[in-house]
Every structure is written in structure tokens, then in C-alpha cells.
Amino acid sequence: MATFVSRLDDITYGYVQASLNYLMALGTVEEPLSVMPLSQIVNWQQMPKWTSQLAYWTGQVGVPRDVGFLHQTPDALPMMPRLSEKSIGITTLETSAVPTWIISALNDAKFIDALVVPSEFNKKTFSESGYEKPIYVVPHTIGDWWWKAPKPPQIDDDRPFTFYYVGGWNNRKNPEAVLRAYIKAFPTPQDNVALALKITGGANIQSYIAQILKEEIGVSTRDDIWVWVEKWGEDQVRWLHHYGDVFVSTHRGEGFALGPLMAKLVGNAVIATNWSAPIEYLSESKGDILLPYELVEVNGMDQQHHHFRVTKDQELLWAEPDVEACAKAMLEKASVGRQNKSFDGLDTMRNRYGWEFVGNELKNILDKYR
């Protein structure tokens, strides 16, 4: 029996979302598993209803197993205790390289036998940065409940054509550029176009957005710009993906990016920076628009995040997307209007990122180390 160790504290964080879906994928293929949260107390009320199956897998929490998955940031993996005879780290990073001190620690960690990363982009960056052990690519996953469940209620066909973003408010995710691009594209309030921002983990974000609007257009609110900062459940997030028309991600770097994937799995188009992991599942031939960018150095403020810190002889880069190009893309999509939310190959994509496929991929890796 394997052990899965991860943060399971707050569903609004990407690592927690990814962990829960990996667990559900392993459960779908009936892999016997025990679950150990990094904290000793898991608040089950914060988890979506579909994670109730986890209760069946936690009977002997914390007991060492033959193989363990450790899902954490790359800087934290080497510091975790040995919990299984063999351990496989699941991790990601969003920059052009991995800091040398992290690679050295991962190579020296005797109990970490391999890495699982969610994208070919990550495999390349870890490998080219000097990681010496096996690397397997297993994408993040979303269960078929995401698209098979009935369409959420209260979605009016006469609603405005809606651009939307779901995620954190930070420099890497860069949703500020989404807001600024929308203002450039639509400098006056629109009756038939809107921007919806669902921000997670952001303090004082609404006042900051009001300040941007005041600076750019002279008023602090607009009826066609909607902002939510409160904590949402899975059903509410799913509602917004069905309500919205085009997901916009002006990110500077992504190791995978669940938001754009969720949008694609319900048939929406995506506007996104043409760099890092999301381009592995986005396609301009299927309605997406990929934005030009420049590679720039990760600044000192962002290097306060431990896993972005580098020595003076190393440079970490990520993308700076073109805001003007994003504004033009929004105008282009709005001019065409709402399309049928489907495209050729959607079933294949849903299979590739579904629980069953990903569960079997993880199970095959476990079998290699038993």
C-alpha cells in the first residue's frame, strides 16, 4: 500500500487542488492508499463533496508504506522525513530553470528516488538544471464530474460576452494585466461585454483594483467589471466556467495551470501567454489565442518566495506578456461573439486529463518502485 503526503488544508490553493485530484485519480483505478496531511488535522469541511471517498483511505494515516508520493514545492521536498521505503516527489516550478541549491538538495536526498512533474516544460527545466534521477510527466487532472454534471442553473443566454479569470492575485499569475488589457480594449462601460475576476487569497484586492480603475479611467467602479474575493466552493467555480466565455491568463509562468484546463474541458476558449506549460494543451487551431511575450528576470520581490531564490551566478527568467496584444485578442473574441462551447478532439482531451488516465499513469510509476 502506498502513502500520499501533501498539504490538504485549503481548497483555494493550486497544490491542494492538484493533490485532491491526484488522490481521486488513484481511487478511480482502485489503488490502495493511505493519506497523510502535512498538518495532523485535516478540515474536511473545506473540501468539495466529491472528496468524501478520501475517508475510506485514511484508516491508518501516517503508517510507513512501501512507496510514498510526497507532493510539495521543490525546495521543501528534500527536508521532508522518510515515510516509506521509497519516495517519489511530485512537484512543479514556473521559471526557466530550477535554482541550483534546490537541484543539489534533491540530488543529495537519499530517500527521494524520482520526481513526477505535471508538464514536459517542467521535465525540461529540471533536467537541464541538473537533476540526476528519473523524471516522469503526469499532468494535473480533473474528474469527469466537471463536465458531465448538469449545467449549473442561473446562466442566462442573454448574458454579456464574458472574459474571466480564476486564481490568485500575485506577480506570477499576473491578473492585473488581465484587468489593464480589458480597460484598453473597452475604455468605456459595456452593455454586452463584461470582465469577471474571481480572486483567491487576496487581501485588499478590491481596493487595489478600484485604485487601478481610478488611475486609468477616472472612476473606481464599473458595472461591467465584477470582482469576487470571498472563498468559493467547487460548485461556484464550476458555475463561473460555464457562465464565462473566454478564460484569460496573462501569467508569467505556469508549471501546469488548472484554471485554463478547466476552461478547456467545458469547451471555452483561452487567451494566455505563449510560454511554459499551458501551451502543451492550448491550441490556436481550437480557438485559443497565445500572447507574445519577452523573457525577463524574476525580480527581487518575487525571490522572497524561497523556491525562487538564486545565487548571483544564476538567473531565473519568466515571461512578460504583451498587454496590448491581450487587449486586441479580447476585441477579436468579443467581435465574433459567443460560439458553441465545443470543438473537435474535446473527448480526447477530457480522457487525457481525466482521473482514470492519470490514475493509471501514477499506478504504473508506483509499480516501478515496488
Bridge partner list, 273: 291
pLDDT surpasses 70 at 279 = yes
Overall average pLDDT of the 364-369 stretch: 94
Alpha-carbon distance of 263 to 117, in angstroms, equals 21
* Side chain identity at residue 330, one-letter code: M
Summarised one tens digit per residue, pLDDT across range 203-243 is: 688 889 999 999 999 999 999 999 999 888 888 999 999 99
Joined together, the cell numbers standing for residue 186 give 473597452
* CB proximity list for 219: less than 8 A, separation 6 or greater: 213
Q: pTM to 2 decimals?
A: 0.91
Does 49 score more than 70 pLDDT?
A: no
DSSP string, 237-253: HHHHHHH-SEEEE--S-
* 26-29-35 Cα angle (round to 5): 25
User: Between 323-336 and 175-185, two packed helices, what is the crossing angle to 10 degrees?
Assistant: 60
Per the structure block, which three cell numbers stand in for 272? 494566455
User: Residue 201 pLDDT more than 80?
Assistant: no
The C-alpha cell at 269 is 476558449
Rg of the chain taking only CA atoms, in angstroms: 21
Q: CB count, 10 Å around CB of 316?
A: 21
b/e burial code for range 217-232 (CB count within 10 A of at least 16 → b): eeeeebebbebbbeeb
Mean pLDDT of 167-174: 93
Which of 108-112, 184-188, 274-278, 322-326 has the least mean pLDDT? 108-112
Burial environment of residue 152 by CB neighbours within 10 A (0 to 12, 13 to 18, 19 or more): middle
Top-confidence residue, 327 or 68: 327
Candidates 94, 5, 17; CA nearest to 48 is 17
Q: With 80 as the cut, is the pLDDT of residue 357 above it?
A: yes
- Asked whether residue 52 carries a pLDDT value surpassing 60, the answer given is no
Residue 42 pLDDT greater than 70, yes or no: no
Residue owning grid cell 459595456? 190
DSSP type of residue 109: -
Domains along the chain?
2-141+354-368 (3.40.50.11930), 147-344 (3.40.50.2000)
Whether residue 368 has pLDDT greater than 80:
yes
The whole-number average pLDDT for the span 45-70 is 52
Least confident of 104-108, 125-129, 340-344, 350-354: 340-344
pLDDT, residue 308, reads 84
Residue 111: per-residue pLDDT: 87
Give the length of the chain.
370
Confidence at 61, pLDDT banded by 50, 70, 90: very low
Q: What is the pLDDT of residues 310-356, one digit of tens each?
A: 877 888 999 999 999 999 999 999 999 997 666 678 899 999 999 99
